[in-house]
């Protein structure tokens, strides 16, 4: 597609359930990023993939959060045993290349709004 | 760790007027990248403009321009000839050359009065 796509657009779940959020980056973009946007914390960087590899997972809020990327394309962010504080908008972004140069611009998807009841 | 501060939670401007959004940041690095993103109610974060710290010349994109003051660690966004479609949340973001993710400010809600 032309841009980053995310699904679902909205997700309502019950506390304690697991959820999977999907991100499909711009074709050809090797770098992929996940962010969380909440009223209390603003925009937080969660994790970065270069290809299928995520060298640093320290930004994930807890061990209930995990992310994977297969085939260098689609990524899934999984939240296990969801809590009410997990309610937020989860944004995905991609860029042509990540690396440490920082030159590449990140293009964002429309996000998934997660509500945990 | 770097921090980004947007001191104006909300700004209002008349259509066709000019408005400036403020952003300051704290870093000990000399090379980095700065961005302004726009987020309308659709939630999609849209890149407005970017600036490389090693460039002295201020970036411009049509009606959008920045005033980058490296010594003062200031990166303000000027929107000229404001249009109704400019109404959105505007986020200032910093990217270190040594890190992967962006560090965002809290955002400024821009209201355009017709």
- Does residue A97 have a pLDDT over 80? no
Question: Whole-angstrom Cα distance, residue A9 to residue A109?
Answer: 10
Helix or strand or coil: residue A84?
helix
- Does residue B32 have a pLDDT over 70? yes
Report the 10 Å Cβ neighbour count for A108: 22
Using 50, 70 and 90 to split pLDDT, how confident is the model at A101? low
Q: Which fold does the domain B3-113 belong to in CATH?
A: Immunoglobulin-like (2.60.40)
Identify the DSSP state of B28: S
Provide the CA B25 distance to its chain's centre, in angstroms: 11
Contact: A100, B46; criterion CB under 8 Å: no
Domains belonging to chain A, first-starting first, are: 5-112 (2.60.40.10)
Q: Could you tell me if A89 lies within 8 Å of chain B, comparing CB atoms?
A: yes
pLDDT over 90 for what percent of chain A? Answer: 73
Residues of A in contact with B43 (CB under 8 A): 89, 91, 110-111, 113
- Does residue B1 have a pLDDT over 80? no
Contact: A105, B101; criterion CB under 8 Å: no
Give mean pLDDT, residues B58-79: 96
Q: What is the pLDDT of residues A13-54, one digit of tens each?
A: 999 999 999 999 999 898 999 999 998 789 999 999 988 888
Candidates B35, B101, B105; nearest CB to A45: B101
- Does residue B3 have a pLDDT over 70? yes
- Does residue B56 have a pLDDT over 90? no
- Does residue A96 have a pLDDT over 60? yes
Beta bridge partners of B74: B24, B69
- Does residue A1 have a pLDDT over 60? no
Question: Whole-angstrom Cα distance, residue A83 to residue A86?
Answer: 5
Question: Whole-angstrom Cα distance, residue A56 to residue B13?
Answer: 42
Output the pLDDT for position A103.
Answer: 65
Nearest to B75 by CA among B64, B86, B85, B87: B64
Whole-angstrom distance between the N-terminal and C-terminal Cα of chain B?
Answer: 41
Is the torsion defined by CA of B69, B33, A100, B91 positive or negative? positive
Least confident span in A1-5, A33-37, B99-103, B110-114? A1-5
**What residues does each domain of chain B span?**
3-113
**Which chain B residue's Cα is nearest to A101?**
B97
Relative to beta strand B24-26, strand B3-5 is antiparallel
**Residue B104: cis peptide before it, omega within 30 degrees of 0:** no
Candidates B47, B103, B105; nearest CB to A105: B47
- Does residue B35 have a pLDDT over 70? yes
Q: What is the pLDDT of residues B13-27, one digit of tens each?
A: 999 999 999 999 999
**Which chain B residue's Cα is nearest to A88?**
B43
Provide the CA B101 distance to its chain's centre, in angstroms: 17
Report the 10 Å Cβ neighbour count for B4: 23
Question: Whole-angstrom Cα distance, residue B43 to residue A6?
Answer: 12
Helix or strand or coil: residue B86?
helix
């Amino acid at each position: 597609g032309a841009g980053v796509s995310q699904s679902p657009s909205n997700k309502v779940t019950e506390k304690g359930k697991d959820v999977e959020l999907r991100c499909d980056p711009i074709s050809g973009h090797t770098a992929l990023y996940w962010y969380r946007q909440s009223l209390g914390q603003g925009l937080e960087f969660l994790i970065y993939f270069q290809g299928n590899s995520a060298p640093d997972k320290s930004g994930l809020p807890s061990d209930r959060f995990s992310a994977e990327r297969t085939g260098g394309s689609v990524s899934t962010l999984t939240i296990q045993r969801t809590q009410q504080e997990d309610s937020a908008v989860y944004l995905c972004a991609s860029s042509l290349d990540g690396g440490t140069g920082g030159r590449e611009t990140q293009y964002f998807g429309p996000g998934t709004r997660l509500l945990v009841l | 760790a770097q921090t980004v501060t947007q001191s104006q939670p909300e700004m209002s401007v008349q259509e066709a007027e000019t408005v400036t959004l403020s952003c300051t940041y704290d870093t000990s690095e000399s090379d980095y990248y700065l961005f302004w993103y726009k987020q309308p109610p659709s939630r999609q974060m849209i890149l407005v403009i970017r600036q490389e710290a090693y460039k002295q010349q201020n970036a411009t994109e049509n009606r959008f321009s920045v005033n980058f003051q490296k010594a003062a660690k200031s990166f303000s966004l000027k929107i000229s000839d404001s249009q109704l479609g400019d109404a959105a949340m505007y986020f200032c973001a910093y990217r270190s050359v040594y890190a992967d993710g962006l560090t965002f400010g809290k955002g400024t809600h821009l209201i355009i009065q017709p």
